[in-house]
Amino acid sequence: MTDLIACLSTGKGTWLEVSKLMKSADWSHIYLIAPKFSMEKFTHDKKFEFVEINPDGETEDMKKAIVEQLKNKLDIDTAISIASGSGKEHMAVISAAMSLGAGIRLVSLKNNYMAEI
């Protein structure tokens, strides 16, 4: 099955999209890349794991934090949502997933269903 990695950071209305995306499929695992603020505020019915980042840090530092926290956890098939967050966070997530050997595909919501981009 497929793992979901989603940024959960900034952007008006993006948390709702991430929440709906989490419900849109039977994911093997769900990993939410998030700063401390998001980790303190976000809840969901589905089981998920936070991967903490410092969004004010350098992109390379974010990537290292993601790699450390996801090492030996990802399936080969990994869906990534970058609807929430900044460009630095997006680059760190994609680079970390590729460094960990994940086959990635970008996903978003279309009419409340998961759609591959």
Q: pLDDT (tens digit, 9 = 90+) per residue, 80-91?
A: 999 999 999 999
pLDDT tens string 67-83: 999 999 998 899 999 99
Torsion of CA 87, 8, 108, 22, to 10 degrees: 160
Q: Is the pLDDT of residue 12 over 90?
A: no
How far, in Å, CA of 107 to CA of 117, rounded? Answer: 6
If you compute the radius of gyration of the chain from its CA atoms, what whole number of angstroms results? 13
Question: Other C-beta atoms within 10 Å of 29: how many?
Answer: 17
If DSSP codes are grouped into helix, strand and coil, which group holds residue 28? coil
What is the token pair recorded at 54?
């410092």
Determine the average pLDDT of the residues in 14-41.
95
Residue ranges covered by each domain of the chain: 17-116
In the beta sheet, which residues pair with residue 108? 115
Contact 85, 6 (CB under 8 A): no
Q: Where are the alpha helices (DSSP H) in 1-117?
A: 14-23, 36-41, 59-70, 87-99
- Residues near 19 by beta carbon (within 8 Å), at least 6 away in sequence: 44
Q: What is the pTM of this model?
A: 0.95
